[in-house]
Chains A and B, each alone.
Chain A
């Protein structure tokens, strides 16, 4: 498929993340640190999960329910880690606020907190994209292409890049929603994030069916756009509330 196509696939999967990094994250060192640490946390979660699941591999690919169980346990574990991540962040936030008070500098703004959440989410998303798409992309730089039987209209590498992009969106914005909901104590939103994560994961099971990717991928993007819209609504609500609070 040559170098051009390889770069194209990499950009499809990670281009928006790159754009986000360059325009928002790279400006503040703390965000870069947050991104890196959340990437690391996500990868560690994968290592632990693979360690636990090693005993049950290889899974029989003729049935779909072992994969459903795998996805469920993985999502549950990662959501648990997200809670832990939030708790660590809360402690850090308290430390930073105390420090700011001591040096008579302003405390973290709402936008700062949201940017930290965004960086955390982006870390998760980038880790997913790198692990599940970029690592498979090396053969894409060679002359040959590859088509999977059950999704024979689109090259395999394109499919994996598109799915990776959807998951980047899901991870990035659901972290913002999650942090916000933990801060506000909003139960509905707290449930929203794991449910959407699980649903997005289960959507990929549709790819098992012959020709399933034509249905599965649009559904996955539906989840991603849902997350994006919900995040946007929540952010604008919080900002206007905050602004009103601040000005009143």
Chain B
């Protein structure tokens, strides 16, 4: 008997080729096993935003996680049960329109996963989840049906009761494999599911408008004073953020609009009556997915043009002797109701500390630099000057023409925008014009009648969507125009103009720092001013936490604002080279501390550079909570302000794992019980048999 067993055993050993190809993933403990069972997926969520009348964005429908099997979307897809839909970018528009039309289909959408990838981007001709006329309610003219953004589908302005994630490139291929495995069903009793954890506090508590959620403290207002970072498993650059009463708030960062004067305004001098030329840009972007808001063309290309122009002008001598004062202003929060510009104008009226040195009566004209990154057309760089029909901005147009003349050899052209346009495109200028319709202003853009940016306010508006030579050209145009305007035709020579040159490598560097992940915010330029642990830049405005002030502590300001502040302070400082180590009396002699994070105590330079808080004029921070102010007829834009807030949340996560059918689980339980009962019966029988055998006489 034993020999038979041994021979059988040997037979099997030899017949069976031990194929040991492929390395087993080494697991050394039960937590390792747990980790390999649940795969955490990298992605960018869409979150819940609330305004005075309702909600937009995405969230889990209740307090629980959503678990749904993963299905790849095709036009013919029919859903039998709540599912997690894997969507490719070209199907996004069709999918969301199907959601709004087909309620039975929409009921079975448990969650959405959007694919991403470089090939996908090249295939798409355009994608914009924004409206066709963004922020039309703030326009200073009546034609609000004009389509500045005809590609706009408006999908980010609707409310969805399911979570939506944008997958990273690596996760996209993983999830495509998993969806295929689900289709093939090699094991009938298992499915691969996605578990979404996007539980929003406003949904949990039931506060579906800004007023109630601010009162219940389940949301925070949008503003450039705070960047809320999300808790996302395995992301090293995010922290947890949650309900004040239950959890600690994570590292809230604040930012704000930044303004700087060139040359620095002498605080002590009483002669502060030089008319001011205001050059404006904005630094916040928007997208369906909050953490992937790059805004390369709209508006960061404009901001980069402005920063490069400041750099070019900083090398010009004799700015002190010019008739007018140049002031540069970079707003944040513009995409969410022109928060930065409206708050700036309010602070200007109130003559607060943040705007000390500026007076609204001294504002001579405003020049806004909008999107400039797509101005390249067959080797020529063309830009358009948009102005309000009734304002007298001939002076600016003449200055632009002079600058264009000096740049003729570079193929730069500037034209006035089409007269059939209803007015200025969506821009901070709208806020200036609403405040004072006689403001002399111009908006410089790379488009004429409709946006040239085919990815306006989407996550695809990245560095591949812009051209650095267009930005350089715009910066040169702006720098020379500002010089012409500031000199007010006094001793203006063409040699002086042609001496103003923009550093193209600076523009390249700014693009790679602000719009790419590699090197991103760890690039040399940024690292020389601020220290940050993030590398991937993100231009979403964030939320305001706590009391906004004009002198925030540097470690409470977000990275981009800090960088812009340091950069402007450095470039507008005079005299060059006269620096000292920062000390208490730096501020007293009209200076500011730059490079405070990277260079010991920092360097004290003479510069007029300040932060301005950016949040809605309808909100007031009072005794620890946000109060909604009633509409005030002296603030017409405030009456139209939707007062955007962002819901709080505990954690946001996305996991994928395999589940067994409930029937199989029950079968296993039954099996276990059966084995136990059978064993018990066998033991009883054996015992009875032995007792009987022993009793036999």
Contacts and interface: CB of A to CB of B under 8 A. Distances in A.
- Assign chain A's interface to a size class: 35 or more
A144 B676 contact: no
A90 interface: no
A17 to B, nearest CB: 8
Interface string A57-73: 01001111000000000
A19 B694 contact: no
Contact of B675 (A12, A63, A192, A212): A12
B17 A20 contact: no
Contacts, number: 147
Dominant SS at the B interface?
Answer: helix
Nearest to B6: A199
Contact of A111 (B34, B67, B677, B694): B694
Interface string B670-695: 11110111011001100100100110
Contact of A11 (B5, B187, B676): B676
A8 B668 contact: yes
A7 B668 CA distance: 9
Contact of B12 (A155, A206, A239): A206
Contacts of B9: 199, 219
Contact of B17 (A143, A150, A209): A209
A129 to B, nearest CB: 13
B662 interface: yes
Contact of B19 (A7, A143, A210, A219): A210
Given A19-B680, A136-B33, A145-B660, A209 B18 contact: yes
B398 interface: no
B696 interface: yes
Given A5-B660, A212-B16, A236 B693 contact: yes
B697 A15 contact: no
A201 B147 CA distance: 76
B26 interface: yes
Interface residues of B, number: 53
A61 B18 contact: no
Interface in A200-222: 206, 208-210, 212, 215, 219, 222
Interface-centre pick from A23, A136, A226 (highest chain B CB count, 10 A): A23
B696 A111 contact: no
A16 B657 CA distance: 32
Given A12-B675, A20-B683, A144-B37, A240 B659 contact: no
B23 A61 contact: yes
Contact of B659 (A63, A143, A199): A143
Contacts of A147: 187, 190, 658
B228 to A, nearest CB: 29
Interface string B16-34: 1111111110101010011
B658 A146 contact: yes
Contacts of B190: 145, 147
A115 to B, nearest CB: 10
Interface string B24-64: 10101010011011100000000000000000000000000
A58 B23 CA distance: 14
A155 B679 contact: no
B679 A15 contact: yes
B183 interface: no
Interface string A144-165: 1111011011010010000001
B673 A11 contact: yes
B297 to A, nearest CB: 43
A24 B9 CA distance: 35
Contacts of B668: 4-5, 8-9, 12, 158
Nearest to A110: B694
A224 interface: no
Given A1-B665, A15-B673, A150-B24, 9 more contacts: A4-B669, A7-B669, A8-B672, A135-B30, A139-B33, A145-B37, A158-B668, A208-B20, A239-B694
Interface in A1-56: 1-2, 4-5, 7-12, 15-16, 18-20, 22-24
A45 to B, nearest CB: 21
A138 interface: yes
Given A10-B672, A209-B19, A210-B19, A2 B680 contact: no
A143 B67 contact: yes
Contacts of B5: 199, 222, 226
A38 B548 CA distance: 69
22 contacts: A1-B659, A1-B665, A4-B662, A7-B669, A8-B669, A11-B672, A19-B679, A19-B683, A142-B37, A143-B659, A144-B659, A146-B658, A147-B187, A147-B658, A149-B22, A158-B668, A215-B16, A219-B12, A236-B693, A240-B693, A243-B693, A243-B694
Contacts of A64: 18, 20
A239 B695 CA distance: 11
Contact of B697 (A4, A10, A135, A247): A247
A31 B284 CA distance: 76
B184 interface: no
B20 A146 contact: no
Interface of A: 1-2, 4-5, 7-12, 15-16, 18-20, 22-24, 58, 61-64, 111, 135-136, 138-139, 142-147, 149-150, 152-153, 155, 158, 165, 192, 199, 206, 208-210, 212, 215, 219, 222, 226, 235-236, 239-240, 243, 247
A61 B24 contact: yes
Contacts of B677: 19
A62 B23 CA distance: 6
Given A16-B676, A144-B37, A155-B660, A5 B669 contact: yes
B408 interface: no
Given A1-B660, A136-B30, A139-B33, A165 B675 contact: yes
B144 to A, nearest CB: 50
Contacts of B666: 4
A19 B674 CA distance: 11
Ranked nearest first, the 9 interchain pairs of A and B with the lowest CB-CB distance are A11-B672, A15-B676, A16-B679, A8-B668, A144-B657, A8-B669, A19-B680, A5-B665, A8-B672
Given A15-B675, A64-B18, A23 B680 contact: yes
Contacts of B673: 8, 11, 15
Contact of A146 (B23, B37, B669): B37
A24 B2 CA distance: 31
B408 to A, nearest CB: 67
Given A4-B665, A111-B690, A15 B36 contact: no
A18 B672 CA distance: 12
Interface string B579-614: 000000000000000000000000000000000000
A206 B34 CA distance: 25
Nearest to B696: A243
Contacts of A61: 23-24, 26
B663 to A, nearest CB: 10
Interface-centre pick from A22, A143, A215, A235 (highest chain B CB count, 10 A): A143
A18 B17 contact: no
Given A136-B30, A146-B33, A12 B659 contact: no
A22 B681 CA distance: 12
B693 to A, nearest CB: 6
A4 B663 CA distance: 10
A169 B697 CA distance: 32
Given A135-B30, A215-B12, A11 B696 contact: no
A247 to B, nearest CB: 7
Contacts of B19: 209-210
Contacts of B676: 11, 15-16, 18-19
Nearest to A154: B187
Interface string B227-248: 0000000000000000000000
A2 B663 CA distance: 11
A36 B38 CA distance: 36
A178 to B, nearest CB: 16
A145 B659 contact: yes
A143 B190 CA distance: 12
